[in-house]
Amino acid sequence: MPADLTGADKVAVGPLRVAVAARDVVGTGGGTVAIETVRNFDESGHTVAFVVDTDVPADLNTVALSRTAFGNALKRWHPQGRMASRLRHFLQMFIFSCLGRWRLAKLEKQGYVSIDHNIEAFGGDIVVLHNVFIAQYKADRRPLIRKLPQFLNPVFVFRLVREQIALRSRRVQAVVAVSEQTLEEARPYLRADALQFVIHNGINLSRYHPLDDATRTANRQALGVAERFVMLFVGHEFERKRLDLVLEAIAALPPTVCLWVIGGRGSSSAQYADLARRLGVAERVQFLGTVNDAERYYQAADVFVLPSDYETWGLVVMEAMACGTPVLMTPVGCAPHVVRDGETGYLVDYHAQSIVEKVSVLLSDGARYAAMRRAARLAAEPYGWSGVARKYLDVVAAVRERMHGA
């Protein structure tokens, strides 16, 4: 059983010294958790060091930043070809694992309690698991013959080995999982004496919020979708998140239904653009890549769709709901907790027809759809970042007491 947190309304005693390590923090789910908790730690008066490989938002200028070498250069490198892309990704991970661990070790000697997101710095006093890589591999629904080539990919092998070593390390005093499912998946690989917690990801409720009807209409007109029903897909790793099913669903829906695709890092957008052409829906699908104003698209979309094979919590799902956008999602990650069938969205099966059926319901029942938009926002409101950060501080205090007795 996970350890009992002291509650979202209790702030951990302080002041605390906290070192947080996270790689590639801008535009990623795990990076968002790191940024938002660091921001809240700092605003609460705690001493914070942030170990990163790339630039961070400008408003974190009061936090002591420790940036590892080569991070920005590797992020700016846009190699051509799959092998070069894999090399860049491997170098990003390997360098940060080594240099990030070295930086954390120095801070730990200075009395900081360290938090390592996704084991990117090879573990800290506290490890935050945004996913369990071996579980993610097992959840891959592709035939075995298509999965085996991954073992020739150094990125895949490094992540797999790093996870197995770090989770068993004596260095790790506590593990925080972003969902009950994630903790359950990690438990076979954890030491028996490691503290275990579940802290769900939060949302910036002031950034992600619904628009009033007039502003939303103007937003949709500016984006060129005033007369269309817009499905939105947000995420990297298109294969795992099953963008193919969404494209197949679009092909079976009326021509007024279109799709925005945001993200795609680590995936071949060209491959999915080709699939859209073969399905005859290329003119109804926009591949937008990574955007800095995702909330604008959440607010304008009519439904958010994520038929993933595997998710841990799903920050993008919560962001969509905070904007009042109903969700269609397979029963993974946060779905059992926040997607209430027929109220905040619908759970769908792992095939395109299931998506088609639920979108058809939304298209045909305007009153239900309006109620779902309101319910989606209400379901997201308990997940603000300030409460999430307080829970992390409680874990830091528990680990500090365990290690130092103070």
Pairwise CA distance, residues 103 & 20, whole Å: 10
Q: Are 143 and 55 in contact (CB under 8 A)?
A: no
pLDDT tier for residue 14 given thresholds of 50, 70 and 90 = low
pLDDT tier for residue 8 given thresholds of 50, 70 and 90 = very low
Q: Positive or negative CA dihedral for 100, 47, 115, 130?
A: negative
* Ranges 157-171, 198-212, 255-269: which has the least confidence: 255-269
Question: For the chain, how many residues are written?
Answer: 406
- Average model confidence (pLDDT) for the chain? 91
pLDDT at res. 2: 65
* Ranges 17-21, 180-184, 253-257: which has the least confidence: 180-184
Quick one: CATH architecture of 213-382? 3-Layer(aba) Sandwich (3.40)
Pairwise CA distance, residues 24 & 326, whole Å: 29
pLDDT in tens, 215-248: 999 999 999 999 999 999 998 889 889 999 999 9
CATH code for the part of the protein at 17-202+384-401: 3.40.50.2000
Q: Are 301 and 231 in contact (CB under 8 A)?
A: yes
pTM for this model (two decimals): 0.79
Mean pLDDT across the stretch 66-83? 91
pLDDT at res. 145: 83
Mean pLDDT across the stretch 33-59? 93
pLDDT tier for residue 9 given thresholds of 50, 70 and 90 = very low
Q: Is the pLDDT of residue 125 over 90?
A: yes
Pairwise CA distance, residues 113 & 384, whole Å: 24
pLDDT tier for residue 35 given thresholds of 50, 70 and 90 = very high
pLDDT in tens, 197-207: 999 988 999 99
CB-neighbour burial class of residue 366 (10 A; exposed 0-12, middle 13-18, buried 19+): exposed
Nearest to 281 by CA among 314, 241, 244, 334: 244
* 228 three-class SS: coil
According to CATH, where is 3.40.50.2000 located in the chain? 17-202+384-401, 213-382
Pairwise CA distance, residues 110 & 395, whole Å: 19
